Structure 1
Amino acid sequence: MSRSQVLVRTQGNIESGGMPVASGRGKLLHANHSFEDSVTTRQRLWARFVARSLPRCPLPLRLKASPMLRTRLTSLPATFGFVMMLVSCADQNTVGPPVTQPAFAGPLRVSPDNPRYFTDGSGRAIYLTGSHTWLNFQDAGFTDPPPVFGWSAYLAFLQAHHHNIIRLYRWEQAKWSAETPSDYWFDPMAYQRPGPGTALDGKLKFDLTKFNQAYFDRLRRHVIDAGQRGIYVSIMLFNGWSIEDKGLGIGNPWPGHPFHRANNINGIDGDPNNDGEGLETHTLQVPEITALQEAYVRKVVDAVNDLDNVLYEISNESRTGAEAWQDSMIVYVKHYEATKPKQHPVGMTALWPGGSNADLFASAADWVSPNGDTTAPPAADGSKGILFDSDHLCCSTSLEEPWVWTSFTRGLNPLFMDPYDGAFPVAIQRDPNDPRWEQIRVAMGYTLTFADRLNLLAMRPRGDLASTGYCLANPVAQGAAYLVYLPTGGTVTVDLSGTSGTLKIEWFIPSTGQTSAGATTTGGGARSFTAPTSGDAVLYVHQ
């Protein structure tokens, strides 16, 4: 066996078709691996983690060697490509689906050619769009322990809708919420609770020098699980909804926070002005707290740095006054990741209440999620990539499917704050069964399909070229493309004067998912096009 080969010992039936594919039966997980010296530690750890990461396998897993087969992997790249291994889970009679890791072409970075989008090692523009929901990382609910979130079902839901990004929500508090007056628990937490002494939620106090490894194992597992389905994960590091009541007068999460003076054994007081809220924790006012937050950032980065499908969000809707703290944390993440093998984009999202979009765009962030409204989105000017998240937009309860298309054709990356199963008690309740939400989810998948077809690196929002005002275009003489949105159907006039020759015409109807093509037009001037049906429509004119 050459020094670049990997010996995989497994038990079960093996089929090989270019890459090792596994299937089998057993009562224990049987997967162990021995390696030649030239195989890197990262590759060893990755192979072992893959064996442990089947979504159907409960933890802990037992590993046992059973030498039956040598599978030769002549080159295991840094991104590891598609690796499938034989596994069978304790207390299961059949094996789950093969574990696969999509071959991301490296971490995302802002495209230098079109900063409205990200790129990776492939050099192509990567458009991001997807749904996210409040309980997709920690479990939460009105009981202790709270109900377990259906993570695998949620991933299947995202994949079925062809989404490629989520925000992974973090709640800093162990109990209580700004959006319900009732007791409300969150689990797991980032810190251990050995005591001595009792915190305000009736449990042992936190030791802020001791991390809860199960929390970070879950974080890593979630990112890998999402990556196996081609989904990027924006990891929320902190949450402004965990430190104050947001002026709602409904509930207050601060008494459940580890940095509350009554909840830790370390003498940390995140409310030095004693106003009953922890706003100071999202400032630089208390150096001891900043140091603890930096330690948490390091722990998160250490947990996921080797994974490509990662972005970071500093904090969800911290209040005005947190700007300098957020910018400091952005710089800290970047500096710490600079010492690591991989670097990932870091974002700053809207501050609330208050907050100015100008602060986001002036920050050191690679991407931003500004506030605004859901009508007539502004065109992205390329100064930063914009994840246009309905979570931060006015009147998101009245959001409808055209918002997705108007955002896409203005160079934005739309994200949807999804009611999903309706389990989280938001202050303004939304019916999870409202048909509008499904229309939005489906539309995001449609835009991603178009984005995969387009040369987004060359496309710019050019509302001036279409009478509807919604147009992504590459209006060159040859190889041109124009994607135009008609919010109410009808007729649109498109300026094709920058293009010569014949162009193909394609219509897409979002309400039915149907495409009609075959007609042509010529460049050299303004041309009018009439949608084939009533309702909104997408026109794609291209060479």
Structure 2
Amino acid sequence: MSTTMWAAPGPARQPLAVHPSYPAYFRGTDGQPLLLIGAYPWGTFSDTDYDYVAMFDTLRAHGLNFARVWLWWGAREFPKPIDRRYIIPYERPGPGAATDGQPKYDLNRFNPAFFDRLRRVCAAAGERGLYLQLILFDAWMLKHPHLWKLHAFHRDNNVNGVDGDPQQTGRGTDGERGFCSLGNSKARAAQQAYIRQVVDAVNEFDHVLFEVANENYYSVEWEQSLCEFIQQHERGKPKRHLTMPKDLLNHSSVVQVWDVQRIHAALLEKRDRRQPLIFDTDWTLNPRDDEVRRSMWAAVLSGGHFNYMDDSLQIGSEYHGDFRGSRRADLHRQFGHLAAFMRQTRFWEMAPEDALVQKGVAFAMASRSQLAAYLPAGKNVTLNLSRLPASLEARWFDPRAGTWSKPWELPGGQPAPFAAPDGNDWGLLVQEQGRGG
């Protein structure tokens, strides 16, 4: 079955949005229901030596369609090993030296090279059918004194009198008057000026959405207010884009575990929010391909989307990574296998439901013509096919190899037992006979 799941974003299309009829999924730039599955490192944009084209080509080659991109970390000393190759949104003319010994930032003077690179990155992604989640600010680094000391909004580092820590806590985490707050008018004005520049630079692109801040635990109101600022600014622009966390939950609010049962439960619990839920793994690096694969399948077969923070795509000796994620090529292929499986379904018509599994361990979602299931440990299950037509066919799918079994026929309209080929994890697709694959 062919779907428009991975349709390439292009000119004269509509911006990415929540699908009005199927709110668990996105409306793609072609207007069709969209499932996002992707992977990303953390230096894609900010490291000017990073070959983002090679990375995007890798994602596309595996049938993936999504990446998350940090635009500005706030300090050139992170992430390693960028150092002098780090690109920032501001010019640094001084006068005076910042805490890193370089000229101070002028928060009123924007760096044209930053925004030129931003447009090139967005264009390259769009040409390859990839959607980008653009992170405007990083709040994770604010809690680390050695990094906050180097931040452009530190009082000693800019010529504009902006102080992101007026209480002198040694961090940028003060939710009342600090960087992430509504109580710091100078910092807020500078943030808004930067956001205007970013929005203006990428407004032409349909395949982007904005994430205000990574790991802001300090002021939800600050983050929501900047989402509203973006929306207000875009009212006078040709295109309007989704903002996180106003239109979508950020990753820390969805689920942050590698336990498949808890992933499934969290996604079903939040389904009544009627918005796409992205299982994003930005809380820890996981070296176990089998655990990542099982968690990904559990999320997507529970009605969610998936985005993997991938250290194999991060350059540097510490991670042994490269632009193509060669160290975890097998895992990337397994991401693509799930994408291929879902392309055989009309996923947008399906709803995940525990009542579909009457016996055994599986996660299942169904419509009136298809049922897709994932068995994280194989074995035997009984699935409720009462809503499906009388004449069905079923096929097993190997998540590790990406291969299908031969189809077999079975009756619908009643519960049916299934025995997985072995004790590994397996996908299963049951659908009306003659529907095709």
CA–CA distance in structure 2, aligned partners of residues 223 and 231 of structure 1? 9
Q: Secondary structure at the match of 2:168?
A: coil
Residues 165 and 104 (structure 1 numbering): CA distance in 2 closer, same or farther, change over 3 Å? Answer: farther
**1:344 corresponds to 2:209:** no
**1:160 corresponds to 2:61:** yes
Question: Scaled by the length of structure 1, what TM-score is found?
Answer: 0.70
CA–CA distance in structure 2, aligned partners of residues 328 and 307 of structure 1? 23
In structure 2, the residue matched to 1:541 is: 430
CA drift at 1:404: 1.1
Tell me which amino acid in the other structure corresponds to 1:365. D
Between Structure 1 and Structure 2, whose CA radius of gyration is higher?
A: 1
Residues 220 and 183 (structure 1 numbering): CA distance in 2 closer, same or farther, change over 3 Å? Answer: closer
In structure 1, the residue matched to 2:151 is: 257
User: Within 5 A, what are the aligned runs for 1:338-487?
Assistant: 338-348=235-245, 364-369=246-251, 370=253, 371-375=255-259, 376=261, 377=263, 378-380=266-268, 381-383=271-273, 384-392=275-283, 396=286, 399-423=291-315, 437-466=328-357, 467-474=360-367, 476=368, 480-487=369-376
Q: Secondary structure at the match of 1:379?
A: helix
Tell me which amino acid in the other structure corresponds to 1:532. P
Does the CA contact (< 8 Å) of 1:171 and 1:238 recur in 2? Answer: yes
CA–CA distance in structure 2, aligned partners of residues 154 and 401 of structure 1? 20
Tell me which amino acid in the other structure corresponds to 1:271. D
Tell me which amino acid in the other structure corresponds to 2:335. M
In structure 2, the residue matched to 1:241 is: 140
CA–CA distance in structure 2, aligned partners of residues 413 and 137 of structure 1? 23
CA drift at 1:406: 0.6
Question: Scaled by the length of structure 2, what TM-score is found?
Answer: 0.86
CA drift at 1:395: 7.5
Supply the RMSD in Å over aligned alpha carbons. Answer: 2.6
User: Within 5 A, what are the aligned runs for 1:58-97?
Assistant: none
TM-superposition CA deviations, 1:444-473 (whole Å, max 9, x none): 222222333322221111232124240121
CA–CA distance in structure 2, aligned partners of residues 390 and 438 of structure 1? 18
Q: Secondary structure at the match of 1:497?
A: coil
CA drift at 1:102: 4.3
Higher normalized helix content (fraction of residues): 2
**1:516 corresponds to 2:405:** yes
**1:499 corresponds to 2:379:** no
CA drift at 1:170: 2.6
CA drift at 1:101: 7.0
Tell me which amino acid in the other structure corresponds to 2:306. P
In structure 2, the residue matched to 1:44 is: none
Does the CA contact (< 8 Å) of 2:338 and 2:399 recur in 1? Answer: no
**1:232 corresponds to 2:131:** yes
Task: Give the gaps of 5 or more residues in structure 1.
Answer: 1-81, 83-99, 140-146, 246-250, 349-363
Q: Secondary structure at the match of 1:224?
A: helix
Does the CA contact (< 8 Å) of 1:404 and 1:440 recur in 2? Answer: no
Q: Secondary structure at the match of 2:146?
A: coil
Identity fraction in percent: 31
Residues 154 and 297 (structure 1 numbering): CA distance in 2 closer, same or farther, change over 3 Å? Answer: same
TM-superposition CA deviations, 1:223-261 (whole Å, max 9, x none): 10011100001110110123231xxxxx72112211111
CA drift at 1:437: 4.5
In structure 2, the residue matched to 1:68 is: none
Q: Residue 211 of structure 1 is aligned with which of 100, 106, 110?
A: 110
CA–CA distance in structure 2, aligned partners of residues 535 and 435 of structure 1? 25
Residues 103 and 539 (structure 1 numbering): CA distance in 2 closer, same or farther, change over 3 Å? Answer: farther
CA–CA distance in structure 1, aligned partners of residues 220 and 399 of structure 2? 39
Does the CA contact (< 8 Å) of 1:174 and 1:185 recur in 2? Answer: no
In structure 1, the residue matched to 2:197 is: 299
Residues 121 and 151 (structure 1 numbering): CA distance in 2 closer, same or farther, change over 3 Å? Answer: closer
Residues 174 and 269 (structure 1 numbering): CA distance in 2 closer, same or farther, change over 3 Å? Answer: same
TM-superposition CA deviations, 1:6-64 (whole Å, max 9, x none): xxxxxxxxxxxxxxxxxxxxxxxxxxxxxxxxxxxxxxxxxxxxxxxxxxxxxxxxxxx
Larger relative contact order (Cα-Cα within 8 Å, sequence gap ≥ 6): 2
